[in-house]
Structures are given as C-alpha cells and as structure tokens.
Structure 1
Amino acid sequence: MSTASFHELVRQRRSVRKYLPTPLSNDQLKEVLEDAQWSPSNCNIQPWQVHLVSGATKDKLSEALKAEHLAGRTSEDFWFDHAGYEGVYLERMMHMGQKRNEALNIARDDQARRDEEMLRQFEFFGAPHAALLFMPVFGDSVRTAGDLGMYGQTLLLSLTARGYAGIPQTLLGMHAGVIREVLGVPEEMKMLYGISFGHPDPEATGYSVNLGRAPISDNVRFYD
C-alpha cells in the first residue's frame, strides 16, 4: 500500500483510461470495498447498491452496451444533458476534451478515432472490473445521489492508495436499462454511474491526463 499523505493522495488520483488485464484478487477487492463502505451518508442510510462485474459477465455486458450505443439508443434512469453547460463550466469541459485528445494525438477532425475512443468506454477501458452504482429513489433523489458521489470518491481514493486506479463513467448511467436487464437488477433500483478499475497500464501514459483544478477562489466564498 502507498504511504502517501492524504495531501499527496488526492492529487495523485487520476481518471485512467487504459488498464492491465490482471484482475484484483478477492481479498484486494474486499479491502477496497470495505474502505468505500465507510463513506458518509445522509442519516446513515447507506443507500449504495453496487453491482461489481468481472470476467465473462463484464464481457457480456460490454457487448450489450455497445449494441445499444451503435443502435443510437439510451436507457438512462436520470435525465442529463451537458449541452446546457455554459461559461466557465463549458470552458472546463472543452479543456478536458482538448487535453485528452492532445495526449492521444487525436486530431480535431478525426471522427474515426473519436468513435473508437467512445466505444472503449463500453469496454470499461480494458479494466478487469467495473462497479455499477445503483440506488433506491427517495424524493427527488438529490441527497441519495450525493451519498453515491461520496461513496465513489472513497472508492477511488482507496484504489489510488493501494496502487490501483479507476475512472468514474457517467456514460454508463446513460444505459441503465440495458445494465439492469443483463444483471437482473430490480426495476426500483436506479443507476447513477459506474466506476471501471484495476491495475493501470504503466506504458499507456496518454490515457491518464493531469487536468489540474481551479483555485479555491473560483469555488469558495468566505464569510466572517
């Protein structure tokens, strides 16, 4: 396990987009999931329902996801449209896409490479595991979704601390219906997002980009 301080740990975490095929052992998976289980939650209801896919089940799910995507369909549980981003939020999204494409040498007009990278999302970026995060519905679901966000952050930091890596994928949540069907998840459980994870490929430097963060003055207001 890494001996990095928390200060170092949160800055070391990256959204890695290429992995070695070697799976984590059952003990290693349990260690990470035990850490994530200690995430805070509203009224301590611990609403996260995690469906962890590996091996043949992951491959079967990947094929179903790609088929729905190539057919031009989605089956999300929660509506989302980043077309509404504007101002600094749009700038940050555009900066992310630009830095990622530069790292992979993808030209702006190279639609074939862009489509290829999109399909890799449905292959979980080659990661041996994917955690699909479902939740029950209470009210407008905002507070429950917040709990799942905290769960995901704890899981990602635990992976980083142990020398593994992960990437949260909102796109997987756009195909919740297919995932629910393949895995037999009850209809009342709604999917928010997924996290693909495993051992990062040390040779694939272009698949992990340091995007930095805005200064706290952009996000925090102090009051005396």
Structure 2
Amino acid sequence: MLDFSTTAQTRKSIREYLPEPLSRAELDAVLQDALRAPSAVNAQPWVLHIVSSDALRRLSEKLVAKFRSGDVKADFIYDQHAFTGVYEDRMRDSYQRLYEAFDILREDKAGRKSFAEENARFYGAPHAAFFFMPDITDNVFTALDVGMLVQNFMLALTARGFGSVPQIALTYSPDVVRAELGVPDNYKLVLGVSFGRPKPDSAANTYVQPRAPQSETVVFHE
C-alpha cells in the first residue's frame, strides 16, 4: 500500500490495461476505503455499479453503437466550449498532450474519432464503475458527494497498484447504461470510471497531465 502523499502524487489516467480482472477480495478492499468518502449529513446519495466480464462486453457493444449513431445526450450539461481564458488554454494543452502521447496527429480526424470511441470500449479495462445519484433538489450538493466518492475510489485503486481513468464520455448515453444495468430513471449518471491493472510496458501510461502552479489556483488570507 502506498502512503497518501505518494498515492495522490502518482495517480494518473490509465488508458491501457492487462486483461486480468481484480479479484472480489481486491474489489472489496478498494470499496471499503472508497465508501468512507465524506457525505453531507451522511446521506450517502450514491449508487455505484461495478461492471465486469460478459456484462461489460454487452454494455460496450451497445455504447459503441450509440456513439457511432451520434444520438447521445447526457443527464447533465457539460459544454467544453464554455471554457474561456486560462481554462480554455489548459483544456487545449491537455488535448494536445494526450494526442501526442498516442501519436495521433492534429490533422488525423479519423484517428481522433477512433481514439474517442475507445471510451466506449473502456480502453480495454476489465472493469468499469458507474456512479449514479438520485435526482434530488438542485443536484449540486448530491453531485459534490458523488465526486468525493469517485476521488476516494480512484485513490484507493492507485494505493494498491491498480489504475483507473475517469470518463465523462461514458455519461453520454445514460439511458443505455440504465437499461443495461437495471437502474431506475430517477437516478442520474454522474461519471464512469474504467479500471484494472495497468499494462506495465505501455508508453501511453507514462503520460501525466501537468497541474497549474499553486500560485494560480490558491489564495492565502492572513
């Protein structure tokens, strides 16, 4: 097990995995830590679905078909075009670094589309986690709770030598996911996370997104 600082500093998005799944004991250990996430008034307004094996393959086939149809609509609005100024700069830099890590040229539109479709294939991971929240009030505080659960989940994986990648793209077809997993319509899909054992010889897995300097994002008051 890694200490907390090493865990936080080394967590990164993994996009190439070994096929070997985690054991149930390994999954239970991760979940035991993840489910200790903070929750306002301890309501714990979340439901987490772990999908593996044949269920993952069936879901992937349906998500790929939905992706190719272009008929997608998430439960929540996420418009990247809304980012301006320094936020847009960071976003564009992120995409450039990501495509370079996978040797995808800027003018290679087909390559970019194929790479985006890998979201629906879970980047070859043996597991995916889908985080749902009940549709309550304005959703903000409920979503905050789920966000802290997601963070705990990914850090718990990293601490044990496993890897993960959070994927907003997995929320683009929530009706497909709900139908396949038997989730009621009043539970909204917040995020999907693919996870498993990182492929050790993957050059792409060495890629790490930078963070803005503390001076840009933290303000001290004394």
Correspondence 1:28-177 to 2 at 5 A: 28-177=26-175
Q: 2:192 aligns with which of 194, 201, 206?
A: 194
Deviations 1:160-197 (A, max 9, x none): 00000001111111211110111111111111111110
How far off is 1:208 after superposition? 4.3
Given that 1:137 and 1:190 are in contact with CA atoms closer than 8 Å, whether structure 2 keeps it comes out as: yes
What is residue 20 of structure 1 aligned with on the other side?
Answer: 18
Letter of the 1:101 partner, please give it.
Y
Match of 2:143, as an amino acid?
A
Bigger Cα displacement from structure 2, 126-135 vs 210-219: 210-219
What SS does the corresponding residue of 2:123 show, helix, strand or coil? helix
Kept in 2, the 8 Å contact 1:50–1:132? The answer is yes
Match of 2:214 in 1: 216
1:123 partner SS = helix
Q: What is the alpha-carbon distance in structure 2 between the residues aligned to residue 45 and residue 175 of structure 1?
A: 27
In structure 2, the CA distance between the partners of 1:142 and 1:208, relative to structure 1 (3 Å rule), is farther
User: How much does 1:75 deviate?
Assistant: 3.0
Write the distance in 2 (CA, Å) between the matches of 1:142 and 1:58: 29
CA contact (8 A) 2:17 2:124 kept: yes
Which ranges in structure 2 are unaligned for 5 or more consecutive residues?
Answer: none
Helix, strand or coil for the counterpart of 1:11? helix
The SS at the match of 1:38 is: coil
- Cα RMSD over matched residues? 1.0
Equivalent-residue separation in structure 1 for 2:206 and 2:150 (angstroms): 18
How much does 1:150 deviate? 0.4
AA at the equivalent of 1:72: G
Distance change in 2, residues 1:112/1:207 (3 Å): farther
Tell me the secondary structure at the aligned position of residue 51 of structure 1: strand
Q: Distance in 1 between matches of 2:19 and 2:126?
A: 6
Per-residue CA deviation, residues 138-178 of structure 1 (Å, 9 max, x unaligned), is 21101111111100111111100000000111111121111
CA drift of 1:207 comes to 3.8
Corresponding residue pairs, total? 222
Q: SS of the residue aligned with 1:65?
A: helix
> 1 CA distance for matches of 2:40 and 2:211?
27
The whole-number CA distance in structure 2 between the counterparts of 1:25 and 1:75 is: 34
Q: Calculate the TM-score normalised by the size of structure 1.
A: 0.96
Supply the distance in 1 between the matched residues of 2:136 and 2:206 (Cα, whole angstroms).
36
Identity of counterpart residues, as a percentage?
Answer: 41
Partner Cα separation in structure 2 for residue 178 and residue 207 of structure 1: 29
Structure 2: how far apart are the matches of 1:111 and 1:75?
Answer: 22
